[in-house]
Amino acid sequence: MDVSTVAALYGIFSRQIRHGAGHKGNGVHNRIHWGVIKYVATYRRRMRPRVMAKIEEFGSGTDVVLLANRRQTHRWLRKVAAEQS
């Protein structure tokens, strides 16, 4: 997934609202703190170029699919499912 910063921030806050904060007892910790917000807010500028460079370095000869939103993701999943059947 290669979503926008706004979509990523919306995602973490909406998940927090839907599922609440804290430890759920299944190994999942759902808490938002400044470090998480900063990481998500700066990901496209700081980390994405590094990730893309690694994909470029190690991903030659493979199909890489970048999906920017849920609609593209659902469309791609339907296409893959149709190709397999």
Return the percentage of the chain with pLDDT > 70, whole number. 93
Centre a 10 Å sphere on the Cβ of residue 3 and count the other Cβ atoms it contains: 19
Nearby residues of 23 by Cβ (< 8 Å), 6 or more positions away = 29, 30
The confidence band for 78, taking pLDDT boundaries of 50, 70 and 90, is very high
| Residue 35: partners with Cβ closer than 8 Å, 6 or more residues away | none
Domain residue spans of the chain: 5-84
> What is the 3-state composition of the chain as percent helix, strand, coil, each rounded to the nearest 5?
65, 5, 30
The answer to whether residue 79 scores a pLDDT higher than 80 is yes
Question: Which residues pair with residue 22 across a beta bridge?
Answer: 30
Count of residues making up the chain: 85
